[in-house]
Chains A and B, each alone.
Chain A
Amino acid sequence: MNRLARFRGYGILIAAGIIFSISVFFSVDKMLKEQVEVSKGERENIIWATTQAEIEFYRFLDALTDLAHEEPGATPEETVRRYEILLGKINVLREGAFAQNLRAVQGADSLVGPVWDTLEKIEPAMNFLRRGDKPTVAKIQAQIEPLTKPMHQLSNQARQVDDAAGAERRARIKEVYVELVGYFIGILASGSILVILLFRGVRRAQRLLEERERTEERLRESEQRFRDFASSASDWLWDTDDRLRFTYFSKGYLERVGVNAVSILGKTFEEIAVV
């Protein structure tokens, strides 16, 4: 029964230890994996890139209109500069990290390609721009104004993709949160059991120690009482071990026989007789 109780105690301790270790391992592992996933998931913000391109598109349209109407500050050079900046922004959607992410947007390629082609087609006309040259500006506008719709569509689609990715990230975060809460409950429960068992073990060890000290004290007292009795009694008293070797002689015996206790302690009757 005692052995069974001890086995049960150790079983609980080992089980709690295993649950604790597993919970700690998996929760740390989970957090590290999620950290890697998060850093992998850091994608270039395609909304930013597509919106920048759309803004530059409208800036270029405005520059063209200002040039045609000879607005103050409107120069062919500034209009060409806006055109080049627009090309730069569209180029970002064709090559590099943004373009790579943009390919995840359905139909993005079919929007960016024609926009780039159209802008390239107007390049020769850009070299002949003059202030107030309404016919040339009108010709360029006629070619690029149809791009308004695909440019806006591109931004919208990028936003939708980003929203979907955001919803996915939020769902994933929630899932990970629930999983981590589970691990922490495991850590908390098994940790509490371990602490309780440890506390109980310490208390039990203290009790055993106190009990041993009390027993030793009682034994010392008992031995002392016996020695007091034996030394005061006139009877011969002796004690032997399991192999009949003397381990104790009373004072009365030693005085009567007249031998040194040291010379006969540890010897048998036969050995003493020979002596």
Chain B
Amino acid sequence: MLSVKGQISNTNAPGQADFDRAMLEALGISSIEATSPWSDGRRKFHGVLARDVMLAVGAQGQLITDTGQDDYSVDIPASDFMRYPVLLALQIDGKYLQLRNQGPVLIVYPRDDYAELVTPTLTRKSVGMLREINVR
């Protein structure tokens, strides 16, 4: 479901850490009620904190490249994940996300709780259909 590679110290495959849904959920489920560029209004998202995934793999880089199933990729400062409760959402309103609604993993920023996050690049960083994280 999600692969993390690059500057990480904990792997379960050559050069990378592969997560399925159960492995991600085992890191601890968090929830957030937030607006996102991909849906109307405030929605309830459940998932795992990006920070927890970074800690689980022992990420040591400053920059994170997130790539979606559609091959869209964007660079995100690692500090975003460490400083804010950014969610790797697995569910929306209690239902698992699918490709057709930007799943199975969607990056959700707590944009309603941290005004400083609302910048023109925020939508670009709210990657949907996330499949790979590369720590650099």
Contacts and interface: CB of A to CB of B under 8 A. Distances in A.
Contacts of B37: 44, 96-98
A264 interface: no
Contact size range, A = 10 to 19
Contacts of A270: none
Contacts of A222: none
B98 A84 contact: yes
Contacts of A99: 40
Interface majority SS (helix, strand, loop, mixed), chain B: loop
Interface residues of B, number: 17
Contacts of A56: 70
B39 interface: yes
B11 interface: no
B14 interface: no
A194 interface: no
B70 A96 contact: no
Nearest to A94: B40
A204 B78 CA distance: 64
Contacts of A98: 37
Interface string A181-220: 0000000000000000000000000000000000000000
Contacts of A92: 38, 102, 128
B120 A91 contact: no
A91 B99 CA distance: 10
Nearest to B69: A85
Nearest to A38: B120
A99 B123 CA distance: 13
Interface in B23-77: 36-40, 69-70, 72
27 contacts: A42-B120, A52-B70, A52-B72, A81-B69, A84-B98, A84-B100, A85-B70, A85-B99, A87-B99, A87-B100, A88-B70, A88-B101, A88-B129, A89-B70, A91-B100, A91-B101, A91-B102, A92-B102, A95-B38, A96-B36, A96-B37, A96-B38, A96-B39, A97-B37, A97-B38, A97-B123, A98-B37
> Top 3 closest A-B pairs, CB basis?
A84-B99, A87-B100, A97-B37
Interface of B: 36-40, 69-70, 72, 98-102, 120, 123, 128-129
